[in-house]
Amino acid sequence: MKLLLTIVLLTAVPILPAHAQKRRGAPPNVALGQIEAVVRDGFGPKVKVESQSGSEPFYLLGDFNGDGFSDVAVLVNIEEARADLKGHGVKYVNVDPDSRRNGLQIDPLSHDSHNCLGIAIVHGTAAGWKAADPAGSFMVYECFSSFRLIRKGQRIGRGRGSQGRTPVPKGDSILLDLETGGTALVYWNGKTYRGFGIRGGD
């Protein structure tokens, strides 16, 4: 009887491939020092990691550009670093859903500053997102209170004030809780990051 019960339990538990198990589980904890080192090396010493206390994350791990390699997105303060971003090869991208320049690379010095937070995004390679030579370094900037990961293929529910066609991201996306009370999605469309309004705010 015990043998039969053991067989039933084993066959009832799905055996997932290693990559599926990793994606379904919670992201591993990464030391603050590792995050700070990646930001410092890729974006310059004036970009400051905004580590937060409590349950709100200050970084997200995902595959944002859909190439199969792990990427990282980090909350940062860039107020003293705008002039230095170009020198580090960072692509500063407009992700304002209401802007005609949504998805375009812009000059960080010309972008209106509201003392909000930026998101430093590093595209990893087969060597990982902590590698010395990442596949790409991007900066997006918006006034938001928190962010979270939306997995590729996850349904994008739309609310009041959302306009235009629902995008189909190439990889995982970032959902922003805006300070206006609205929400917006930051996603990779195959060439660049864009913003999409999920719910309008005040």
Q: Is 19 a residue whose pLDDT tops 70?
A: no
Query: Is pLDDT of 21 > 60?
Result: no
Q: Is residue 2 in a domain?
A: no
Distance between CA atoms of residues 41 and 87, nearest Å: 12
Instruction: Tell me the mean pLDDT in the region 4-21.
Output: 33
DSSP state for residue 97 in the 8-state scheme: T
Into how many domains does the chain fold? 1
Q: With contact defined as beta carbons under 8 Å apart, do 71 and 160 qualify?
A: no
Whether residue 91 contacts residue 136, with contact meaning beta carbons closer than 8 Å, is answered with yes
SS3 content of the chain, % helix, strand, coil (to 5): 20, 30, 55
Closest CA to 128 of 170, 171, 188, 68: 68
189 found inside a domain: yes
pLDDT of residue 29: 85
Instruction: Kindly report the average pLDDT of the chain as a whole number.
Output: 84
SS (H, E, C) 3-64: HHHHHHHHHHCCCCCHHHHHHHCCCCCCCHHHHHHHHHHHHCCCCEECCCCCCCCCEEEECC
pTM higher than 0.85 for the full model?
no
Give pLDDT, residue 187. Answer: 98
pLDDT in tens, 93-106: 999 999 999 999 99
- The predicted structure's pLDDT at residue 113: 62
Q: What is the reported pLDDT for 57?
A: 87
**Whether the Cβ atoms of residue 152 and residue 142 lie closer than 8 Å to each other:** no
Q: State yes or no: pLDDT of 191 exceeds 60.
A: yes
SS3 81: coil
**More confidently predicted of 113 and 27:** 113
The whole domain housing 124 covers 28-199
Task: Flag whether pLDDT at 17 surpasses 50.
Answer: no
35, part of any domain: yes
Mean of the pLDDT values across residues 72-81?
93
What pLDDT does 16 receive? Answer: 31
Residue 99 lies in a domain: yes
